[in-house]
Each structure stands twice: as structure tokens, then as C-alpha cells.
Structure 1
């Protein structure tokens, strides 16, 4: 008996902070509308070597079957050969009804779609349950910052061009005129693709399920040599692509239980240069009373939080003990990544190691 292929939805968005993870998690919450036996598996791709976001997804919904994170590279170049194995593992382990892929912020969607096309052909007609089909590519646009990088990054423009649905995110934080400028810029890049606004980082479930990818169909019809050579016409140079960002790993040493060792770090996230630092992701364990004023609670017991910082805005998310990643066995205070522009890694390593994040903090490039 031939098993129906598993639909795959791909989320893209330039660099970090566009809102891909928030949108993906909101879709998991909406899955409660579907039967309880409808299961979703997630494949997350991230620069850096620390699994942080899995905890956010894991505690979000009972329809989530499992999460796999692919670190230290991008699916469309460095990790290109590993996506096949990851998808097969998700299918064999969880037997999902749908797979959601969140790409790194520098991913070229056409390249990933080509890989999915090849997998679809490889498993076509098999009864193993490993068959897949590309259901759609969703591009998340950070309206607050899009005009700042659309003209300087080939990747940002390509993500807006090679997609089946464009989601305008964070539009609530800008003026109507600013939004119109972004809308016009995106229309210059891609006139025909449907475009919608998110509501607090979320869109309807119907907008995601059943997109019926035009990009996927086009790539299925394209000759193999055309797709693999120029990636649907954009001349992908993997060296240029990989160097678009550099990632620093920051580790806070084990100290007291009151969280005071993070005071310097919390002061820094208030003033960190948003035009130089793209994103910070950390997992920290400390009392809620030790958090910055905007996030502080009355709790005096150590709890695990995930910090997401992007373009000067940040949020602490409390993680249940069951979902908390096992990253802090050796680091009581916290561990995480700081993402900066290409060529800035060594400079920021020196700056962040100078003591502005606190005593004894280790910064690795």
C-alpha cells in the first residue's frame, strides 16, 4: 500500500528576530483545533551550537510529536546533506502528519526546496512512510527593520522573492507610512505572492495548511542541473552566504543562587547596539526577582527562562522544568549565543570578554 507523502512547510525570515519561531509556536497552539491524533514534527536550523528554542516548542502543545535541531550551519549549504537524515529520523521516530521546518535566518529557500524536491522523488511511491511533499514556503518579514537590510543583503531579497506566502510581522510597531514603504519595497521584489499581516506574531492556521506550493511545483518541473547549479537563478555562493553572520557562545560561571552574577549582562542588553548585534539567545536559571525590572516577578526560587533579544527588544519566557533544556548543569547562571555581522566576531569577542558582561564570563567564537 502506498502511503500518502507527509506535507512539509518551510518558514524563512532574514537573519534573526524576524519572528519565525514566534509564528511557528503560534501555529502549534492553533493545532488544538485539529484532532488530538494529528501530530506535527519540527526541524529547526540555527547558527551556534546551543539547543535553546526546542524548549519553547516542546511546552507549547500536545500535538507536537518531536523537535530536531540542526546546529552550526545552514540547511542550504553547510548542512545540506544532513537534512535528508533528519527528516527520515523525524518520520521513523514520530510518524508525523506534517513537518514544519524553521530555517536559519540566512537560508536560501529555493535551495532548500530543491533538496525537498529530490527527497520527494527519492521516496516517491514507497510504502515506507518516508515520502514527503513541499506544501509551502512562508517568508516572515520584520517590518520594523526590513528597509534597513533589504537593500544591503542579497539573502533578504531572495527570501522575499522565492516564497509562497509573505507574512508582515511587527507592523503594529511602525507608522502607517513606514509600513507602506515596506509593503512597496516587498512588492518591488515580489508582486504576485499573497501577503498578509500577522496579529501579535500569529496568523490563522488555514493560512499555513494547504498552501499548495507553486515554488515546489516549479522546482519539480525544473531540470535537476538547473536547480543544483544556480539555485533557481540566484547564483548562490556558499562562502558568501555562510559568512553573513558570526556566532559567539557566552557562558556564565556557576556562582550564587541570587542571580546577581547576571546584573552586568542585564544592564548590557538594555544598551546593546542594535545596529551591530543581530540577535541574542540565552537560557538562564535564576529567581524571577533577579530579572530586569520590565520582566521581574516576586519569585525567589530559581527558575529557567529563555531570553530572546533582537534589534533592541527583548523578552524572557519562563520554561517549565519538564521542558527546560539540560544546558545549565555546569553553568548556573546561563549560556547562550550572540550573533553579529560578518567580520565582527573577533571584535565583539574582545569587547564582551572585557568585563562588561560580568566577571569570569567566557566568550567563544
Structure 2
């Protein structure tokens, strides 16, 4: 009897709001029949918003594990190892998809996954794992802006097996050429494709068989990012600050969210990177038109990035794991380095409504 092949790992990187989760969910909806996938997600904040979206996307999805309040490539390294092993033991998937946070260093993560593969192979335990590919998602509308302020965004574009241009439909041909040239300056040789409204074919991520090696650039990244170099390590982690925002349930009709919904259109897209919330409200009160069969309160996931937002209905089963009956909404607001205290004070001024709880 031949030993089972190691489980392939596909890693998704990209800055906050680039569309990693949208791309991931689109791939899950296109899973080949009888092909079982598990997802490991790393996100800022302490609310597992994306898990609910991924969990209901495809019946072939074996399971979702979400790691919060830290980065896979440094603080959560040990937890990532245990999470991968637990996913294998619990689900025995055909592939594991790993969605990193917006600040993950792909080279460091690549080395850690290779080390894990060697360790499991040496132990001869279980199926083992292998890194199949790293995919970088780029927001064509906003890349120039965030690449100028985030060293990590540029590194992610440099160290990858495939670059996916997302949201290119919303820019002019000239604007896209500027983004293409900027990315090409960072990385000429890596294949590049455009998504189709946030979706790519499943075949695009299969069998990439990563050839990314421990180059001099990668070695320098690892040295700069090591725990021995505290200054670089802290700089990396502090690119983003998060605020957890909770809305108490004051009544039964969702009026307590009216100011928050107004703020969605006013929030500064050049200062706030991302907002992710789970809310429970009547569809009649949503600031966008959405199809519904009943006007009674329903759970929705709110995703806001660079001034755009959408509401996605989720099941009560998934919602009950994320929000308790005392709240009508809870989620995370992500801002830049050093902006956390300022935004906490601003959001506590009443702009979101009364009795809102904000934790930095």
C-alpha cells in the first residue's frame, strides 16, 4: 500500500480590502465534485466574521479555522502549525487554502510551511503537507495608494507564484496600465491574470508547484522580520491597528444602527482600511436594496473597504456563533499605524450612535 500524498497548501496574500476573501469564496463555489477543501484564515480583530461566509459557500468545504489577533508569519507561528495538523486530523482534506492577514510576509510564511513539511516527513506521521503555491491579490483601484504606505504590500507582490489583479473593472485603461507597470517594476517574471469580478477559475490555483527558493531577497526579509530584530518585527505588526465595535440591542427594530449606516458613506476611505461586522437587522433598514422574503431581522455580514460596502445574508446557525442576543452588531474597524486612539475618540463622539462600545 503506497503512502498518501502530502496535502497541498495554497496561500493567499494581499493587502486589506484587496479581495482575498471574495476570491476565496468564489473558488469554493467552483470546487470540483468530490474534491474536499479546508480553509485556514488569519484576520485582524477578534470577531470571526469571514468564517460564516466561507462555511456556507460549498457543501464540499470540510471546515474553516480562523486565527485572530495576530499574524501567521510571526506571532501565531506555533498556532498555525497546530491548526494545520488539526485540520488534517479532523477533516483529511484534499487541499488546505490559507488566507493570510493583510500584513503577512509571504517569504517567512513559506519557510515555516516548508519547515513543517520537512518535520512531518522526517517523523513519518500522517499525510504530511507541501506548499503548492502562493497567490497575491492586488486591488487595481487602490494599489498605488497602499503600496506607497505599506512595505508589506510591495513585498507580497514580489514574493508570489501568481498575481491576480482584482477590481480592475472600475479603473480606466490608463489607470490599469499604471498599476501594471508598478507591479511589473516589483515583479517582472511572475504570471499575472485578471479576475472576473473577484473570481478566477479553480484550475488557476492547481499545481502551481512553487519554485520560490531561499533567495538573497527572501533571506533578507527573514532577517528583518525575525524576532531577534524587535524594531522590524514591531513595525510589521503595527502597520494596522484595530478597534472592536459593539452595538447593544436597544429595541427590536434596528433603529440603533441608523447612524452607523449613515457613517458607512462618510467614513474616510484614505484613513480606514477595512470594516467587517456581523449585524442583525430588518432588511428594510439596510442602506442598500437587497432581496428578502420577510421584513423580520436577519443576520448579515457587512464588508467595507475603500468606501465600498456590501451586505451578505448568512444563516442563523452561523450567526449565533458570532453574535449574542444582547447585541445587534459587532465587528472590527481597521486603521493605520498610530490612528487607533484618534479614531476611538472620534467614534465615541456619537457619530455611530449612543451606547456604542469601542475597544482598542
Q: What TM-score do you get using the length of structure 2 for normalisation?
A: 0.94
Distance in 2, Cα, partners of 1:324 & 1:76: 29
> Structure 1 231/339 Cα, relative in aligned 2: closer, same or farther at 3 Å?
closer
> 352-361 or 287-296, which moves further after superposition?
287-296
Is residue 136 from structure 1 mapped to residue 133 from structure 2 by the alignment? yes
1:307-326 correspondence to structure 2 within 5 Å: 307-326=302-321
Q: Runs of at least 4 residues of structure 1 off by over 6 A?
A: 224-227
The equivalent position to 1:266 in structure 2, one of 261, 266, 283, is 261
Distance in 2, Cα, partners of 1:180 & 1:153: 21
1:108-187 correspondence to structure 2 within 5 Å: 108-124=105-121, 127-187=124-184
Q: Does the 8 Å CA contact 1:282/1:308 hold for their aligned counterparts?
A: yes
> Structure 1 325/20 Cα, relative in aligned 2: closer, same or farther at 3 Å?
farther
3-state SS in 2 of match to 1:210: coil
Equivalenced residues, count: 355
Aligned to 1:229: 223
Distance in 2, Cα, partners of 1:323 & 1:330: 14
Distance in 1, Cα, partners of 2:51 & 2:342: 30
Is residue 200 from structure 1 mapped to residue 197 from structure 2 by the alignment? yes
Is residue 344 from structure 1 mapped to residue 339 from structure 2 by the alignment? yes
> Structure 1 25/364 Cα, relative in aligned 2: closer, same or farther at 3 Å?
same
Unaligned stretches of 5+ residues in structure 1: none
For the aligned residue pairs, the C-alpha RMSD in angstroms reads 2.0
Q: Does the 8 Å CA contact 2:107/2:222 hold for their aligned counterparts?
A: no
Q: Over residues 317-341 of structure 1, what are the superposed CA-to-partner deviations in whole Å (9 max), with x where a residue is unaligned?
A: 0102233252221433100000000
Q: Does the 8 Å CA contact 1:262/1:358 hold for their aligned counterparts?
A: yes
Q: Does the 8 Å CA contact 2:225/2:233 hold for their aligned counterparts?
A: no
Give 1:96 deviation, angstroms. Answer: 0.6
3-state SS in 2 of match to 1:333: strand
Q: Does the 8 Å CA contact 2:225/2:232 hold for their aligned counterparts?
A: no
Distance in 1, Cα, partners of 2:219 & 2:191: 29
Aligned to 1:2: 3
Give 1:126 deviation, angstroms. Answer: 5.2
Aligned to 1:18: 18
Is residue 364 from structure 1 mapped to residue 359 from structure 2 by the alignment? yes
Give 1:228 deviation, angstroms. Answer: 4.9
Give 1:229 deviation, angstroms. Answer: 3.2
Distance in 2, Cα, partners of 1:10 & 1:82: 16
The equivalent position to 2:88 in structure 1, one of 79, 91, 100, is 91
Distance in 1, Cα, partners of 2:354 & 2:105: 39
> 245-254 or 127-136, which moves further after superposition?
127-136
Give 1:2 deviation, angstroms. Answer: 2.7
3-state SS in 1 of match to 2:41: strand
Q: Over residues 115-156 of structure 1, what are the superposed CA-to-partner deviations in whole Å (9 max), with x where a residue is unaligned?
A: 001001001165532410000000000000001121232111
Q: Over residues 297-352 of structure 1, what are the superposed CA-to-partner deviations in whole Å (9 max), with x where a residue is unaligned?
A: 57321110000000000000010223325222143310000000010000100110
Is residue 75 from structure 1 mapped to residue 72 from structure 2 by the alignment? yes
> Structure 1 310/225 Cα, relative in aligned 2: closer, same or farther at 3 Å?
closer
Q: What TM-score do you get using the length of structure 1 for normalisation?
A: 0.93
Q: Does the 8 Å CA contact 2:141/2:170 hold for their aligned counterparts?
A: yes
Distance in 1, Cα, partners of 2:221 & 2:178: 33
Q: Does the 8 Å CA contact 1:289/1:298 hold for their aligned counterparts?
A: no
> Structure 1 341/133 Cα, relative in aligned 2: closer, same or farther at 3 Å?
same
